[in-house]
Amino acid sequence: MAIDIDKVRAMSRSKMPGVIALGIFVMVLVGSSMFQVDANSVGVVLRLGKLSRSVGPGLHFKAPLGIEKVYKVPVEEQRKEEFGFRTASVGDTTRYSTEGYEHESLMLTGDLNVVEVEWTVQYRISDPYLYLFRVRDVEHTLRYMSQALMREFVGDRTVNEVLTAGRTELATSVQARLQELCNHYEMGITVGQVILQDVTPPDPVKPSFNQVNQAQQEMERMINEARRDYNAVIPRAEGRAEQQIQQAEGYLIDRTNRARGEVARFASLYEEYAKAPEITRQRIYLETLGEVLPKIKNKVILDSEATNMMPVMQLGAGGTVGVAPLSSAGGQK
């Protein structure tokens, strides 16, 4: 049986468009069934508009022809929103731009002062489904909430609290309240940190504010110097006073003990004297002489019963003592 080559070629040419169309269809079908999820992302698969599943990083398949649709959400990416400024360039030296953002940074404090507050909100996506489908335009909603909360908390504080010691507490309060609102509205994000980039008074009042700060610093310096002098002088004076008090107390105790000893000794002597007055009197007399006589250089001992002699004493240095007889009339011979 003879084969008509031309006829076969004609039939092949007539089927070629169908084969090409079939190949293109298969390629489109396979291409629409495969998708790749990055390492820091999660794929949320919807089947006919309803949540079907969530898939992790890697190569995956889905129903083609739009039956299943995939949304890739970078859940591991750290995101941030800037308020009052924008990052102009990032490099060795990061540059920021603040012009045109005064409507975000200018705020009124509780004591009716105006400050410029520049801050950053860092967050990440914690629930991809809530992030995609619960709130429309999550980024704008987060910005509006952040500005409202920052103005609320700044308005409850004085300008000194906002500029100095209250900055950390302010950022912590805004972060906690912002997370509560995000959970309430089911936004599917976790607020990691609220950072106060810069808090300053407006440019027109900066010179006056700096003068006030200098005066306050000078006041603090003088107070610290006064406290230093106080800590140097007062403890020394208190130590001296305590020393004198202790010395006085010691003297009091010593005098009291001595007096009590003397009283006890006198009481014991009186008891002995009461038992034998003459003997005790003689003993006391002898003891007293024993204490006094050794201290006297020249001693003169006279007989108390001698009546005809009158002592003549030369009290000069090296003088001698003699006696002169008395007349019967009592005169000196």
pLDDT at 78: 93
pLDDT at 291: 82
**CATH number for region 78-201:** 3.30.479.30
> How many Cα atoms within 13 Å fall on the side-chain side of residue 32?
13
Annotated domain spans of the chain: 20-74, 78-201, 219-291
pLDDT at 324: 47
pLDDT at 1: 47
pLDDT at 297: 73
pLDDT at 19: 61
Does the global pTM surpass 0.75?
A: no
pLDDT at 186: 94
* CA nearest neighbour of 84 among 211, 197, 207, 209: 197
Using 70 as the pLDDT threshold, list the residues of the chain that sit under it.
1-32, 299-333
